[in-house]
């Protein structure tokens, strides 16, 4: 009987290992957290997985069911599982010190929660660096009714950035030297090329400006030297999904990386985007799209020819790529594109007009020690004039309707061969989730940090020194993200939806991750409908660990006595 249950639990479907309920009536699922070996084709190393694999099994739920998930910890350290993007009671959210204590070695924790949504999501550990070490998996939720688009078959395409170094070692190295993993730095040859192109004075001035900011134009990715994986397979291992010519194939893209944004294309095929972060959007036909860390996008492709197509996911910094194949038969391959030229940050990416300003007192300073400082006494700039300003109205910054990337920046996405690149501005909700209404108040979140010392923060304060963000049940809050850093940050609020304001009003898309590019201001709104304590953080693993993290407390509603006493 035990072997039969194991067979049911670990049975394979087109997307890989799928975790089915032990019985259809009980809706009980079992997961173990295990030491595993991760084989990327480039290297092998020890890691963490679920039910003996990394990525873990695909969890398949149905909208409207109540699920029970027994999670047994077979590690020698405490663990946890966060159900990313799922709307559930806060005690089931799986964040140690915020929603519960975690799962100790040898213990089993039982999650119980209703499934109130449909779409593509994922799950991962929220303990230490277990997620970058392999503790992640996919969630697919079948809707109650018919979907507003057709497809004949589907695949989960789960991306990650597997690194030969374990997460704890990576964090130590970044704290020791922020550019430790920057393997695409500018060369002497490039200096002379710039002199020839721009002149000696301009080139020297440019290099000096970057030196004063203690950054480099190549600081697009904190982490390089990784092997991107699709469903646990490196480029040489070539994950393959089969199709019959003429079929509509749904690809559920999930970015489970620790730090890496990917630009995704399938040469020879148009992709129709139908979901963003699990929510239906009006179909958008594109040639390429960028997926932020922790985002999900569902696309439909229709390969009509009897040939193979390459699924190509290129890191935003152009340092590595994931590669898979769609093919009519096993063993078929298609041409793999070359990596494009690496992007470089430019002064356009600066979060404010820096003319005449002492860069060394701004970008290199330790913002974590600024609380309570008389900013007007700081060298070279009057911070008192900066509070509340809308960076989106500054020269070179993103404006309404832009794809949320600074103009002139090396980060500005451009599709290969001049095709259509998906923009946030393209996303419109298929059906509004909430009635459109004015926000009751605005909360400004300044995204701040010190690249040189590898300190990341919100409003200049690291998590360990910060007070919680307090919201009132029933209000509608407008969050204003002002990115004062020169890196891109995927911001994730647990427990509640994030309504991205891209100018579509009641058709604004509903997401669980909102990406904020350097020097831009982005707005999102939240219907505060989930009492409890929630995590809110940048989803770049090492940024969150370095301090870009907050606790959010929702007061009121069906608030438990335990939560009241915790305050």
Give the global pTM.
0.83
Domain membership flag for residue 206: no
What Å distances lie between residue 479 and 403, 440, 491, 529, 544, CA to CA?
Answer: 19, 11, 11, 15, 19
One domain for residues 167 and 20: no
Domain membership flag for residue 513: yes
How big is the CA angle at 550 (ends 544 and 553), to the nearest 5 degrees? 150
Q: Which of 93, 125, 146 is the last residue of a domain?
A: 146
One domain for residues 414 and 559: yes
Range of the structural domain that residue 39 is part of: 2-146
One domain for residues 249 and 361: no
One domain for residues 232 and 103: no
Domain membership flag for residue 205: no
pLDDT for the residue 116: 97
Domain membership flag for residue 210: no
For the stretch 88-132, pLDDT in tens is: 999 999 999 999 999 999 999 999 999 999 999 999 999 999 999
One domain for residues 422 and 499: yes
One domain for residues 509 and 521: yes
pLDDT for the residue 452: 79
Q: Which of 343, 375, 393 is the last residue of a domain?
A: 343
The CATH number that applies at residue 548 is 2.60.40.420
pLDDT for the residue 31: 98
For the stretch 546-563, pLDDT in tens is: 999 999 999 998 755 454
One domain for residues 335 and 362: no
One domain for residues 311 and 377: no
End-to-end C-alpha distance for the chain, whole angstroms:
48
Reply yes or no: is the peptide bond before residue 113 cis, omega within 30 of 0.
no
For the stretch 285-316, pLDDT in tens is: 999 999 999 999 999 999 999 999 999 999 99
pLDDT for the residue 211: 53
Calculated CA dihedral for residues 462, 259, 423, 417, nearest 10 degrees? 150
Domain membership flag for residue 203: no
Q: Which of 317, 343, 369 is the last residue of a domain?
A: 343
One domain for residues 375 and 485: yes
- Tokens linked to 348: 């356009």
Q: What is the mean pLDDT of the chain?
A: 83
**Mean pLDDT (whole number) for 49-72:** 97
One domain for residues 404 and 472: yes
Q: Between these two residues, 380 and 428, which has the higher pLDDT value? A: 428
Domain membership flag for residue 114: yes
- Listing DSSP states for 464-520 in one string gives GGPPPEEEETT-EEEEEEEE-SSS-EEEEESSS-EEE-SS-GGGPPEESEEEE-TT-
One domain for residues 102 and 169: no
Domain membership flag for residue 528: yes
Domain membership flag for residue 207: no
Domain count across the chain: 3
For the stretch 213-242, pLDDT in tens is: 445 554 578 899 999 999 999 999 999 999
For the stretch 36-46, pLDDT in tens is: 999 999 999 99
pLDDT at residue 178 tops 90: no
One domain for residues 472 and 511: yes
């Amino acid at each position: 009987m035990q072997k039969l249950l194991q067979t049911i639990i670990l049975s394979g479907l087109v997307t890989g290992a799928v975790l089915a309920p032990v019985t259809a009536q009980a809706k009980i699922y079992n997961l173990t957290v295990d030491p595993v070996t991760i084989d990327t084709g480039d290297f092998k190393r020890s890691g963490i997985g679920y039910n003996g694999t990394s990525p873990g099994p695909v969890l398949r739920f149905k909208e409207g069911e109540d699920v029970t998930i027994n999670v047994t910890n077979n590690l020698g350290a405490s663990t946890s599982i966060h159900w990313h993007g799922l709307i559930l009671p806060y005690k089931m959210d799986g964040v140690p010190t915020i929603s519960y204590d975690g799962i100790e070695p040898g213990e089993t924790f039982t999650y119980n929660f209703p499934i109130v949504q449909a779409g593509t999501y994922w799950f991962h550990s929220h303990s230490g660096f277990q997620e970058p070490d392999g503790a992640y998996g996919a969630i697919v939720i079948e809707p109650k009714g018919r979907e507003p688009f057709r497809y004949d078959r589907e695949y989960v395409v789960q991306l990650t950035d597997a690194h030969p170094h374990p997460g704890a070692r990576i964090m130590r190295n970044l704290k020791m030297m922020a550019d430790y993993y920057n393997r695409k730095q500018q060369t002497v040859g490039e200096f002379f090329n710039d002199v020839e192109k721009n002149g000696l004075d301009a080139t020297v001035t440019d290099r000096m400006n970057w030196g004063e900011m203690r950054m480099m134009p190549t600081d697009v990715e904190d982490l390089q030297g990784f092997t991107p994986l699709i469903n646990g397979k490196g480029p040489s291992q070539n994950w393959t999904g089969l199709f019959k010519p003429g079929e509509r194939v749904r690809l559920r893209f999930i970015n489970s990386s620790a730090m890496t944004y990917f630009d995704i294309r399938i040469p020879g095929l148009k992709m129709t985007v139908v979901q963003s972060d699990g929510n239906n959007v009006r179909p958008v036909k594109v040639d390429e799209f960028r997926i932020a860390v922790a985002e999900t996008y569902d696309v439909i492709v229709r390969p009509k020819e009897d040939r193979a197509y390459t699924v190509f996911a290129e890191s935003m910094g152009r340092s590595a790529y994931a590669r898979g194949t769609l093919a009519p038969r096993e063993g078929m391959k298609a041409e793999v594109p070359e990596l494009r030229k690496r992007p470089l940050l430019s002064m356009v990416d600066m979060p404010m007009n820096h003319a005449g300003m002492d860069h060394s007192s701004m970008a290199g300073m330790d913002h974590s020690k600024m609380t309570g400082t008389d900013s007007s006494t700081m060298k070279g700039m009057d911070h008192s004039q900066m509070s509340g300003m809308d960076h989106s109205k500054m020269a070179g910054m993103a404006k309404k309707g832009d794809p949320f990337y600074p103009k002139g920046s090396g980060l500005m996405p451009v599709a290969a061969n001049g095709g259509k690149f998906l923009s946030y501005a393209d996303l419109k909700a298929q059906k509004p989730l909430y009635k459109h209404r004015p926000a009751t108040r605005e909360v400004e979140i300044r995204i701040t940090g010190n690249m040189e010392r590898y300190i990341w923060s919100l409003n200049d304060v690291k998590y360990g020194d910060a007070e919680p963000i307090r919201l009132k049940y029933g209000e509608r809050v407008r969050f204003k993200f002002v990115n004062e850093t020169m890196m891109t940050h995927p911001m994730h609020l647990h427990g509640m939806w994030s309504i991205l304001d891209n100018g579509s009003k009641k058709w604004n898309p509903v997401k669980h991750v909102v990406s904020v590019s350097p020097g831009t201001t982005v707005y999102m709104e939240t219907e505060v409908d989930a009492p409890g304590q929630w995590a809110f953080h940048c989803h770049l693993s090492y940024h969150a660990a370095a301090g870009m993290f907050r606790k959010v407390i929702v007061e009121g509603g069906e608030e438990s006595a335990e939560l009241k006493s915790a305050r």
